[in-house]
Amino acid sequence: HDDQGVRAAADDTTKHDEGIRAARAKGDHSAVSAGAINRKIYSCNGTTNLPGTLIRAEGQKPIGTRDASQDPDECYAGFGATFDFYKNVLGRNSINDSGLPLIGSVHYGKKYDNAMWDGEQMIFGDGDGVIFNGFTDELDVIGHELTHGVTQYTANLEYEGESGALNESISDCFGSMIKQYSLKQDSATADWLIGDGLLAKGINGVALRSMKEPGTAYDDPQLGGQDPQPSNYANLYKGKSDNGGVHINSGIPNKAFYLACIGLGGNSWDRCGKIWYQTLTSGKLSTRANFQAFADLTASVAATLYDADARQKVVDAWAGVGITV
Ligand code: ASN
Ligand code: ZN
């Protein structure tokens, strides 16, 4: 079903998104004072002109009924929760670690079925209401997209094949952690779903992806059939769609992260999140790193940051998805 339904639509969207990236003029998103958050929320008002009209700047009160939806305020809040996580848990000052302003444009296009980081800012579609609801109320989705920015400024993993699936997985890992941190849920309590609440009523599924049980998030013809994510390296998708399966094969490192979080115990962000973050920002990953290289590095980082027991928990997690460190 790779060429059907949402998968084909997603490929079209990716081409469209690349067009946006290429066409987009460089904005004046210069850094502000160290450590302070600086959000700017725009509305495209149903057009594709970026960034659109500024509707809420940092420190301004909620716009409430001035917009027909809660989207701008949800975007503002989601950016805040994401910034706080990176600052308080990981000591990172925004996406580039130098206070990069967080720019978001809501109401992008008409019934646009995606949310994305375009290299400089976040873009939110309204969803078509048939397959997807709007994206601004999903903190894991906002965390996912902003983390694409963090990856861009650090390991800069190429968005293709295994390095692309690692790029996707890192966005899911941090997106999920940001949600868990804001809900104060430990690893055993968290649902480990990405985009629960995103699927419109009438779609047979619980979320876009499950990190705990990849391949089980949905089964619906409108989404191209069953969730195609593998949970073991033996079942790696080797086709060409989706940039060589970046949103498909991410299930493998996603599950490894989940298993490592459970093995290490407590909150995902206490130890496992710091191991994955140190791996991402170490400067030791190639932009074309494969799963093996990433796994090897997480194990050695676990030993350095913690101890041999932590390392073993990480090694066991990778073994659980068919990767031997
Ligand atoms: N929502 C998609 C993602 O973050 C958009 C994209 O960039 N392909 O993976
Ligand atoms: Zn992504």
181 and 85 Cβ atoms separated by less than 8 Å: yes
128 and 198 Cβ atoms separated by less than 8 Å: no
Cα(208)–Cα(108) distance, integer angstroms: 20
Give the distance (Å) from ligand 1 centre to CA of residue 26. 20
Residue closest via CA to ligand 1's atom 2 equals 116
Q: Is the pLDDT of residue 1 over 50?
A: no
Q: What is the pLDDT of residue 59?
A: 95
- Token pair belonging to 140: 């894991």
Ligand 1 pocket, residue 151 CB under 6 Å: no
Residue closest via CA to ligand 1's atom 8 equals 14
265 phi-psi bin (left φ>0, alpha ψ -120 to 50, beta other) = left
3-state secondary structure of 294: helix
Ligand 1 pocket, residue 116 CB under 6 Å: yes
Low-confidence winner among 15-24, 108-117, 158-167 (lowest mean pLDDT): 15-24
Residue 69: pLDDT band with limits 50, 70, 90: confident
Q: What is the pLDDT of residue 229?
A: 98
Q: What angle do CA 191, 194, 199 make, to 5 degrees?
A: 110
Residue closest via CA to ligand 1's atom 3 equals 116
Q: What is the pLDDT of residue 35?
A: 78
All residues at 6 or more sequence positions from 153 whose CB lies less than 8 Å from its CB, including other chains: 95, 96, 97
Cα(82)–Cα(69) distance, integer angstroms: 21
| Ligand 1 pocket test target in 15, 148, 209 with most atoms within 8 Å of CB | 148
For residue range 273-301, list pLDDT tens digits in order: 999 999 999 999 999 999 999 999 999 99
3-state secondary structure of 116: strand
Ligand 1 pocket, residue 145 CB under 6 Å: yes
Taken in order of first residue, the domains within the chain and their CATH numbers are: 5-153 (3.10.170.10), 161-319 (1.10.390.10)
Closest CA to 169 of 180, 179, 157, 181: 157
Residue closest via CA to ligand 1's atom 6 equals 116
Peptide bond into 230 cis (omega under 30): no
Q: What is the pLDDT of residue 65?
A: 66
Residue 64: pLDDT band with limits 50, 70, 90: confident
**16 is a catalytic site residue:** no
Residue closest via CA to ligand 1's atom 5 equals 116
Ligand 1 pocket, residue 167 CB under 6 Å: no
302-308 average pLDDT score: 98
Q: Which ligand is nearest to the CA of 13?
A: 1
For residue range 4-14, list pLDDT tens digits in order: 444 444 444 45
Terminal-residue alpha carbon distance, the chain: 33
Ligand 1 pocket, residue 17 CB under 6 Å: yes
Q: Is the pLDDT of residue 32 over 80?
A: no
Could you say which of 74, 120, 138, 145 is catalytic? 145
- Token pair belonging to 251: 């299930």
Q: What is the mean pLDDT of the chain?
A: 91
For residue range 204-221, list pLDDT tens digits in order: 999 999 999 999 999 999
Query: Which atom of ligand 1 is found nearest the CA of 247?
Result: 9
- Token pair belonging to 248: 């498909």
ipTM for the predicted complex comes to 0.94
Give the distance (Å) from ligand 1 centre to CA of residue 31. 25
Give the distance (Å) from ligand 2 centre to CA of residue 307. 32
252-262 average pLDDT score: 99
| Stronger pLDDT, 113 or 21, i.e. the higher one | 113
| Ligand 1 pocket test target in 136, 145, 246 with most atoms within 8 Å of CB | 145
Ligand 1 pocket, residue 170 CB under 6 Å: no
Q: What is the pLDDT of residue 66?
A: 64
**247 is a catalytic site residue:** yes
| Stronger pLDDT, 26 or 45, i.e. the higher one | 45
Percentage, residues of the chain above pLDDT 70: 88
| Total count of residues recorded for the chain | 325
